[in-house]
Amino acid sequence: MGLRLITAPATEPITLAEAKLHLRIEDGVTADDDLVTALIVAAREQAEHETRRALIQQTWELTLDAFPACAISLPWPRLIDITSVTYVDAAGDSQVLDPSLYTVDGESEPGWLLPAFDTDWPDTEDSANAVRIRYRAGYGDTAASVPEAIKAWMKLHIAAMYRHREAVVATQSNELAGRFTDRLLDPFRIHAV
């Protein structure tokens, strides 16, 4: 099984202006804009890692060597939709699975892809990555869709990384900050299935 990001989020949950306001960087001061922008991305990526979920809409591809006996768990919820299900059939030809042959459970977290009622998954060629499932996941395509607790966690971690740029100090700072702020992410954590 493999999982890779196909399309990254088009925007971030926190704007540069919001981060600079939190950091108390005066209006008009742009010397650290590139650094703060990079820290916003790093904080989002870390929040996604900690919660095991996509925050802003992004496209993922899950690869499997064959269809399983039943349902397929789709990591990094919230599942928005399935873009495509392709597979290499037993004859070695690439096929697109008709959407009428599968059912999507986007309510559960993580989401699930199941064969349609009274059907089975098709047979595949015996090869690596014979099945490819592309799907979109995230809270939505704007920052307004992301829960405020996650954005608060991000701001606190952006501030810790900004103020303590050296690795040793940053580790100590993040450990201290983590004890108090990581609870903000608890309601959003996805545990492995």
Q: Could you read off the pLDDT of 72-124 as tens digits, one per residue? A: 999 999 999 999 999 999 999 999 999 999 999 999 999 999 999 999 999 99
| pLDDT over threshold 80, residue 53 | yes
Predicted TM-score (pTM) of the model is 0.86
| Residue 82 pLDDT | 98
Residue 190 buriedness (CB in 10 A; 0-12 / 13-18 / 19+): middle
Domains in the chain: boundaries: 2-55+143-188, 58-137
| pLDDT over threshold 50, residue 176 | no
Q: Where are the beta strands (DSSP E) in 125-181?
A: 131-137
Mean pLDDT of the chain: 91
| pLDDT over threshold 70, residue 193 | no
Could you tell me the pLDDT band of residue 28, with boundaries at 50, 70 and 90? confident
Contact 127, 88 (CB under 8 A): yes
